[in-house]
Structure 1
Amino acid sequence: MEAGEHQAVQLCLESGALISTQQHDLSTPVHLACAQGAMDIVRLMFSRQPDQRGASMNATDKEGRTVILLAAARGAWKTVTALLRLDADLSVKDNLRRNLLHHIVLSGGLLDDFHGEINERLKDFGDLLNERDIQGCTAMHYASRNGQLKTIESLLHFGAIVNLKNNENQSPLHFAARYGRYNTVRHLLESKKGHLIINEMDGEGKTPLHIASQNGHTRVVHLLLVKGALLHRDHKGRTPLHYAVTNGFTHTMEQLLAVHSHLLDQSDRDGNTALHLAAMHNKANTASLLLSLSCKISHNEQDFTPIDYALHYKHSEVAMVMVTHPSRSEEVMSCRTKRYTCLVEGLTAVMPEVMMVKHSFQALQNTEGVGDIVPETDQPLPVMNIMVRYGREELLSHPLCVKYLETKWNSYGMYFHMLNLAVYTVFLSFLTTNAVQLMAEKTDRENFTQVTSAQLASAFVYPSTRAKYFLDIMNVLEWTLYISAGLMAAGHLSTAVVDRSNQYIMAALAVFLAWFNYLLYLQRFNRIGLYVVMFLEILSTLLKVMFVFSVLIIAFGLSFHILLAKIDMNVKTPVFDPFTGNVTMRSMNMSDKGFHNPVISLVRVGTMMLGELDFLGTYLRPMRALESSAWYQIVAATWFLVVFIVLMPILLMNLLIGLAVGDIETVRRNAQLKRLTMQVELHTDLERKLPRRILTMVDKTEVYVYPNQKGSSSYVSVPDTKHVFRVHSSYVLRD
């Protein structure tokens, strides 16, 4: 039966199976066939056992449904039509006291599909129109809830009553308003009794306008207001605005207040205004809107203000909005509270997070037992150095550690670093000027004095005396800069010390290292420094990858050198002299192509990776001009070139680009953490050299942060601190 096989059913019937037999859920085979819409099987069963037809059609399952109710509940409309033509009983109801119309509407059916059958049994259908189920709902209630316009039209056409109430005294219009059925509400209001139901109240005294406002259906609210809905109060004395505020529907509030602005300060039976209810239910958006509309801040029957309820229920969001409101914050702060002497006391006692953020550095400054881990017992920042020692970068990025480093940076680190940067800038300007003037072919001993003085000052602003200073690659580069700058300046004294050619080399090296080192100085500063560290991270990755794939550069460089270095050609090619403007003919030689020397050949392969292939001049023209013996070398070199193009410019270069920018967020995070490590090392080195008296003056054990203060800045950005810091208004943020 469940498979719907016609022949199997026929065989069972021939074997004497009864169609009125019930299974565990009390359903009969006719129930199952009707539920599946298998009307041909139903006719077969009725034709084979006509004496069982009446009993089968009126048999009920465990939910009290007959076959026609079950078919309607399953949406088997053709079966319902056939059963109606077989004179199925329409007066039956299930255990929930729902009749055929209830099930048709709940399953989304259209009464137009049964128009002929309804007309034939109009009286029977008329009795179903206004019958209530166990909840007191008629078919019109469910059609209104689901927004079935055509069904509503049909029900009204056949005489359904639109103002029948369910057990909660709710009409179909209440249902439509609750679920935001705009067109249904409009259709019901335009019916003959629409003017009678628009202001009807339910069991709680709520009108459709109350219910639409409570659920935030702004279009329905607008429609009801246009149709003339009155502003009644419910049994609690609340208006529709109160319910819109309670659930945070600002657009509905604006719609109501645009028509009835006097609702703004109306109170319920307990004396609660809309602002009281917003504070009770922690609706920050509605509280902000009410304050912006100039609502009154009043006391209710219990002498509570809205801010009293925010403090009582510890609703920090609405309290934050009220005390930080652009135009009403002073009025809110001056409110008298029932429990506290002033609002500041209440915020401090109940919601300190609204007032400020306190950072206590005692855990970071506690040196007890640290000497067992860090060998230097007098080492500054001992806890921070432990984090660096064990590589706990996730701890370094904790907001407390970041704020601790920021405090030290603002206290003294920034000033010493700016001093060092200023001295280095003077040295850089003298060095650059001297290197540029070097091309003027004149010796200037004054330049030697300027460069040397600035060089010494830059080198000894705050150098480290520790051995690890010379193990840092950046410090090695810096001393290489000073040495090359000194040799360049020494060339001004005598060419016997440094000749002109070597002086140019030292000048080029010094200028490059000086400006590169200037870039490294910017690592300490906010935002700019982050990009510098990111650049160095990507550079480090690039060098590691290039070190691995330098094998390919050597392979191709030596191959091209072997194949092309000894090829001589007699082909004359025109050469233009830019100085004389003459064009001369000269023989082409492979030494002009950069493969005559193994080292130069490796450099030539590096330029080829960037696109400088010179295919015509290096491969095609020699291939056409050479004899057979050398011709094979050019052909072999051409095949090597094809392999080179695939492996190097295409594969390798794209790999390098992918490594550089493929995971830029990871690079950024690593750069951020590396900068924190650098800051720990910087302050450790500075505090080791500064007098303890100065450190005692500038050091702090705790700081208070007022996050809403404008103009505050830090040397390092902290990602996503919105869950750490709470915002407060400038009214409270006074030191």
Structure 2
Amino acid sequence: MDIRRPSNCCCLYIRIYSTRLIKMGAQEVMMLKSSKHPCVTLSLIASMPKVFEAVQDKCITKANCKKDSKSFYIKYSFDNLQCPSLYAEDDGKSIKKPEPLPALNAMVTHGRVELLAHPLSQKYLQMKWNSYGKYIHLLNVTIYSVFLAFITCFSAQLMEHQKPITSLNITNLSHEEYIAVSKENILNVQVSHAMYVCGLAIIFYLAVNCLREVVQIYQQKVMYFMDPINLVTWLLYASALVMVAPIFGSTMYDSQFSCASLTVFLSWFNLLLLLQRFDQVGIYVVMFLEILQTLIKVLMVFSILIIAFGLAFYILLSRGEHLSFKTIPMSLVRTFSMMLGEIDFLGTYVKPFYMTNEEEKAFLPFPLPAFFILGLFMVLMPILLMNLLIGLAVGDIESVRRNAQLKRLAMQVILHTELERKLPQFLLERVDKIEIIEYPNDAKAKLGFFDSILRKWFGNPFSDDALDMVMDNGEDYVITELGKTKKKLKEITHTLEVQQQFLRLIVQKMEIKTEADDVDEGVSPSNMHQNGNSSKWTSPKIRKKLRSVLSFSNRNH
């Protein structure tokens, strides 16, 4: 072999490399690196998930005894999920701390549902959750619930503790003067001690969390601003600060009440987002957010129709003393409410057309175009667009339901990734485990009181029942592929039978004899040998088949 040729050099290199891989052990192979992937585990997850699934199967070992025995155990080894090669040293210089949970994050990135739902990955996440995840997350939810209680109490006190309205002769006041006096009395708030306590607690919480958000901005850089939840959080903090700050001064402002309403809404909405981490209630929150994203996208497109009808109604009805269409912004809002079914056909169109209400001066300046645009609006917006939105919502719920297991596990991976970025390394080394040995039949392995409460009210994030619904989408795919394979096998079998019959016909026409003659049922071998000219093609059964093939070929011609 000429090694100077490139093809021969390549073959020689492949042979040498294959021989080295065969001589290496399993752990040595998993420690290999490449220019594209710093770890073999990440390469297998990205390119060969079936191979890595086999690796996961090898990492689970069971005791060689009866399954109902108390000494029966299951051993889970997490070496390949932790990617130890990422922590190795290169030329005496240690590599910087890698991304937490690299294997599980790669599964989420590439959408490897079967790998995430594998018992080894489930047990690895469960180990993380039991070690520190559930305590930190429940502590975070508890602290936020206290903050939410202070926000709600402060808002309620802001509206209840008002000084009595100054007695004035309102009959002599104009409408504008009455509004000004009423606002002045509303802003004259009597600050109580409970408001001071709530305000100080809110400011302390805002200061601590603002520092935490600044640290996240430093760590995540531009990616921090890509998450809309972070923007909602900053809006909550800003509105809460504007709501609380004026009580420490001597003057109240209109913006305080406006920000109070915004703060109450965002704080309770943020509590809904925190519930995503739990199993039973979190999937509904995920569905809600997915449908919200779809709704925003569709409304951004079809807002063109809202503007079109809003401007048309403004031109046709604004000069007819209709207050809801008096200005362009009010006309757009009224058009949006009409899309939901609030058309008010009798009050807006019928009565002004017949001028039956003499107290009101509303009328239709252009009745025919108004009724034409209204009919067009009824067909396009409440009927067509609303049904389109309902159809998209139902379709999204079905897709979210099929991918519920992946989304739930992905949320757990993201939670533990964020926690491991913030926790110190020595604490992670203390709680992290390379392997776990479980005794399923041991009475001491039962759930404690705290875990039983979590499972009852929020669901166990790693329940065994969840594994049954892992591959709904995957099972449908397998069933579909099996059906296609069966159909192809039937077609191939039919084609082979036809070809075999044609080959027999060709052999008969060419009078080819074979040594191994087929003996038909009812014909003895002695009779076959007595007739020298007989062959397997003279049997009645074969001749019957040949006649059917000939008749079939004649019909085709």
Instruction: State the TM bucket, normalised to the shorter chain.
Output: 0.5 to 0.7
Alpha-carbon distance in 2 for matches of 1:529, 1:382: 24
Q: Residue type of the partner of 1:520?
A: L
Which residue of the partner structure matches residue 47 of structure 1? none
Given that residues 364 and 384 in structure 1 are in contact (C-alpha distance below 8 angstroms), is that contact kept between their aligned partners in structure 2?
yes
Question: How far 1:611 sits from its partner (Å)?
Answer: 1.7
Given that residues 117 and 467 in structure 2 are in contact (C-alpha distance below 8 angstroms), is that contact kept between their aligned partners in structure 1?
no
Alpha-carbon distance in 1 for matches of 2:348, 2:365: 14
Q: Which of residues 715, 723, 726 in structure 1 aligns to 2:461? A: 715
Alpha-carbon distance in 1 for matches of 2:102, 2:431: 18
**Alpha-carbon deviations, 1:585-618, whole Å to 9, x = none?**
xxxx311xx1111111111111112221111111
- Relative distance call for 1:386 and 1:596 in structure 2 (3 A) is same
Q: Which of residues 406, 418, 436 in structure 2 aligns to 1:685? A: 418
Identity score, percent:
49
Question: How far 1:391 sits from its partner (Å)?
Answer: 4.5
Given that residues 151 and 264 in structure 2 are in contact (C-alpha distance below 8 angstroms), is that contact kept between their aligned partners in structure 1?
yes
Question: How far 1:383 sits from its partner (Å)?
Answer: 1.6
Indicate whether 1:702 and 2:400 are aligned.
no
Alpha-carbon distance in 1 for matches of 2:305, 2:462: 41
Which residue of the partner structure matches residue 103 of structure 2? 383
Q: Residue type of the partner of 1:443?
A: V
Question: How far 1:522 sits from its partner (Å)?
Answer: 0.9
Which residue of the partner structure matches residue 83 of structure 2? 366
Given that residues 423 and 454 in structure 1 are in contact (C-alpha distance below 8 angstroms), is that contact kept between their aligned partners in structure 2?
no
Question: How far 1:368 sits from its partner (Å)?
Answer: 1.6
Alpha-carbon distance in 1 for matches of 2:302, 2:76: 49
CA-atom RMSD, angstroms?
3.2
**Alpha-carbon deviations, 1:562-606, whole Å to 9, x = none?**
111111xxxxxxxxxxxxxxxxxxxxx311xx1111111111111
Question: How far 1:414 sits from its partner (Å)?
Answer: 1.0
**Alpha-carbon deviations, 1:518-544, whole Å to 9, x = none?**
111111112111211121111111111
Indicate whether 1:636 and 2:399 are aligned.
no
- Relative distance call for 1:546 and 1:371 in structure 2 (3 A) is farther
Q: Residue type of the partner of 1:382?
A: P
Question: How far 1:358 sits from its partner (Å)?
Answer: 3.9
- Relative distance call for 1:649 and 1:398 in structure 2 (3 A) is farther
Question: How far 1:695 sits from its partner (Å)?
Answer: 1.6
Given that residues 283 and 404 in structure 2 are in contact (C-alpha distance below 8 angstroms), is that contact kept between their aligned partners in structure 1?
yes
Alpha-carbon distance in 2 for matches of 1:459, 1:715: 30
Which residue of the partner structure matches residue 278 of structure 1? none
Which residue of the partner structure matches residue 432 of structure 1? 152
TM-score calculated relative to the size of structure 1: 0.44
Indicate whether 1:454 and 2:205 are aligned.
yes
Given that residues 317 and 365 in structure 2 are in contact (C-alpha distance below 8 angstroms), is that contact kept between their aligned partners in structure 1?
no
Which residue of the partner structure matches residue 180 of structure 2? none
Question: How far 1:400 sits from its partner (Å)?
Answer: 2.5
- Please state whether the residue corresponding to 2:76 is helix, strand or coil: strand
- Please state whether the residue corresponding to 2:332 is helix, strand or coil: helix
**Alpha-carbon deviations, 1:56-100, whole Å to 9, x = none?**
xxxxxxxxxxxxxxxxxxxxxxxxxxxxxxxxxxxxxxxxxxxxx
**Alpha-carbon deviations, 1:4-44, whole Å to 9, x = none?**
xxxxxxxxxxxxxxxxxxxxxxxxxxxxxxxxxxxxxxxxx
Q: Which of residues 105, 122, 127 in structure 2 aligns to 1:407? A: 127
Question: How far 1:722 sits from its partner (Å)?
Answer: 5.4
Q: Residue type of the partner of 1:451?
A: I
Q: Following superposition of structure 1 onto structure 2, how do residues 243-642 of structure 1 map, counting pairs within 5 Å?
A: 346-347=65-66, 355=72, 357-368=74-85, 377-439=97-159, 440-441=161-162, 442-444=190-192, 445-459=196-210, 464=216, 465-466=218-219, 467=221, 468-494=223-249, 499-567=252-320, 589-591=321-323, 594-625=324-355, 631=364, 633-642=366-375
Normalized per residue, which structure has more helix?
2
Question: How far 1:408 sits from its partner (Å)?
Answer: 0.5
- Relative distance call for 1:720 and 1:381 in structure 2 (3 A) is closer
- Please state whether the residue corresponding to 1:527 is helix, strand or coil: helix
Alpha-carbon distance in 2 for matches of 1:554, 1:723: 45
Q: Residue type of the partner of 1:667?
A: V
- Please state whether the residue corresponding to 1:347 is helix, strand or coil: coil
Alpha-carbon distance in 2 for matches of 1:718, 1:620: 62
Indicate whether 1:664 and 2:360 are aligned.
no
Q: Residue type of the partner of 1:400?
A: L
Alpha-carbon distance in 1 for matches of 2:147, 2:209: 7
Indicate whether 1:654 and 2:373 are aligned.
no
Question: How far 1:514 sits from its partner (Å)?
Answer: 0.2
Q: Which runs of 5+ in 2 are unaligned?
A: 1-62, 90-94, 163-189, 357-362, 471-557
**Alpha-carbon deviations, 1:316-342, whole Å to 9, x = none?**
xxxxxxxxxxxxxxxxxxxxxxxxxxx
Question: How far 1:386 sits from its partner (Å)?
Answer: 2.6
Question: How far 1:716 sits from its partner (Å)?
Answer: 4.5
Question: How far 1:672 sits from its partner (Å)?
Answer: 3.7
Q: Following superposition of structure 1 onto structure 2, how do residues 25-424 of structure 1 map, counting pairs within 5 Å?
A: 346-347=65-66, 355=72, 357-368=74-85, 377-424=97-144
Given that residues 525 and 716 in structure 1 are in contact (C-alpha distance below 8 angstroms), is that contact kept between their aligned partners in structure 2?
no
- Relative distance call for 1:718 and 1:520 in structure 2 (3 A) is farther
Q: Residue type of the partner of 2:100?
A: P
- Please state whether the residue corresponding to 1:443 is helix, strand or coil: coil
Alpha-carbon distance in 1 for matches of 2:366, 2:349: 10
Given that residues 560 and 601 in structure 1 are in contact (C-alpha distance below 8 angstroms), is that contact kept between their aligned partners in structure 2?
yes
- Relative distance call for 1:590 and 1:665 in structure 2 (3 A) is closer
Given that residues 563 and 637 in structure 1 are in contact (C-alpha distance below 8 angstroms), is that contact kept between their aligned partners in structure 2?
yes
Q: Residue type of the partner of 1:523?
A: Q
Given that residues 240 and 263 in structure 2 are in contact (C-alpha distance below 8 angstroms), is that contact kept between their aligned partners in structure 1?
yes
Given that residues 622 and 634 in structure 1 are in contact (C-alpha distance below 8 angstroms), is that contact kept between their aligned partners in structure 2?
no
- Relative distance call for 1:602 and 1:376 in structure 2 (3 A) is farther
Question: How far 1:552 sits from its partner (Å)?
Answer: 1.3
- Please state whether the residue corresponding to 2:237 is helix, strand or coil: helix
Question: How far 1:371 sits from its partner (Å)?
Answer: 9.4
Question: How far 1:378 sits from its partner (Å)?
Answer: 2.5
Question: How far 1:663 sits from its partner (Å)?
Answer: 5.3
- Please state whether the residue corresponding to 2:100 is helix, strand or coil: coil
Question: How far 1:477 sits from its partner (Å)?
Answer: 0.5
Count of matched residue positions in the alignment of Structure 1 and Structure 2: 349
Question: How far 1:392 sits from its partner (Å)?
Answer: 4.0
Higher RCO (CA < 8 A, seq sep 6+): 2
- Relative distance call for 1:651 and 1:706 in structure 2 (3 A) is farther
Alpha-carbon distance in 2 for matches of 1:658, 1:705: 47
Q: Residue type of the partner of 2:205?
A: A
- Of 482-491 and 688-697, more deviation after overlay is shown by 688-697
Which residue of the partner structure matches residue 259 of structure 1? none
Alpha-carbon distance in 2 for matches of 1:472, 1:640: 41
Q: Residue type of the partner of 1:648?
A: M
- Relative distance call for 1:596 and 1:505 in structure 2 (3 A) is same
**Alpha-carbon deviations, 1:93-145, whole Å to 9, x = none?**
xxxxxxxxxxxxxxxxxxxxxxxxxxxxxxxxxxxxxxxxxxxxxxxxxxxxx
Q: Residue type of the partner of 1:661?
A: V
Alpha-carbon distance in 2 for matches of 1:370, 1:638: 73
Alpha-carbon distance in 1 for matches of 2:424, 2:86: 24
Given that residues 387 and 395 in structure 1 are in contact (C-alpha distance below 8 angstroms), is that contact kept between their aligned partners in structure 2?
yes
- Relative distance call for 1:704 and 1:443 in structure 2 (3 A) is same
Alpha-carbon distance in 1 for matches of 2:397, 2:244: 42
- Please state whether the residue corresponding to 2:341 is helix, strand or coil: coil
Which residue of the partner structure matches residue 166 of structure 1? none
Which residue of the partner structure matches residue 169 of structure 1? none
- Relative distance call for 1:596 and 1:357 in structure 2 (3 A) is farther
Alpha-carbon distance in 1 for matches of 2:364, 2:65: 95
